[in-house]
Amino acid sequence: MKYLAILLLALVLPCTAAATDYTVRPKLSQLRFTGTYQGADFHGRFDQWTAAISYDPAKLADSRFDVTVTLASAHTGDHDQDSALPGTSFFDVARFPTAHFVTTGFHRDGNQVIAEGLLTLRGITRPVSLGVLFKSQGSSATLDVAGKVRRLDFGVGSGDYADTSVIGAVVKITAHLQLVRK
């Protein structure tokens, strides 16, 4: 009986479904943010980040995103903003060089897939939801995610910069990833 159980387990394990692991093609991928300053949108990007992606829309329970962002790599194209972002009032990269997002689960909301996760920024961890759009194309895929964070929830923009009438409270996060199946 013991051997029968082992045999059945050996037969079942290879059939266990798992999400597909992907490698990100960094030169074709982007991690961006949009905020408002004095009522006008400003756009930025992070140039250095890593992402471990395991995803299958049919196997959401087995899917996972794990993203680490080097905060000093933020660029907006505006000299004043770019020089302020690494400082203690915003990202404080000397104390908190990276931000980290990891999923805690996925669910469907109508036709939309939502990735629930935890974002750690400036040593503060808060839940964040991201809309997910995934398109598989043979051995490659594209993954687009979008969500919003309230910057003050993470202490981004302290002192005079905490005034949300000057710098908006909400920052939009978007990513477009080109993936290759491992």
Walk along the chain (182 residues) in steps of 10 and give the mean pLDDT of each run.
43 60 97 96 98 97 98 97 97 98 97 97 98 96 98 95 96 98 96
Confirm whether 142 is domain-assigned.
yes
Confirm whether 2 is domain-assigned.
no
Cα separations in angstroms, 55 against 106, 108, 112, 150: 10, 14, 15, 27
Query: What single letter denotes the amino acid at residue 79?
Result: H
Confirm whether 1 is domain-assigned.
no
What pLDDT was estimated at residue 6? 43
Confirm whether 48 is domain-assigned.
yes
Nearest partner of 26 among 54, 50, 55, 52, judged by Cα = 50
Indicate the number of domains in the chain: 1
Helix, strand or coil, per DSSP, at residue 37: strand
Confirm whether 13 is domain-assigned.
no
pTM of the model: 0.89
Question: Sign of the C-alpha dihedral, residues 82, 88, 94, 95?
Answer: negative
Confirm whether 74 is domain-assigned.
yes
Confirm whether 126 is domain-assigned.
yes
Confirm whether 46 is domain-assigned.
yes
Cα separations in angstroms, 166 against 4, 38, 92: 69, 5, 20
Residue 119 · residue 99 · CB < 8 Å: yes
- Half-sphere exposure at residue 127, Cβ-oriented, CA atoms within 13 angstroms: 7
Domain with 71 in it: what CATH number?
Answer: 2.40.128.110
Residue 128 · residue 147 · CB < 8 Å: yes
What pLDDT was estimated at residue 17? 60
Domain hosting residue 52, numbered range:
19-181
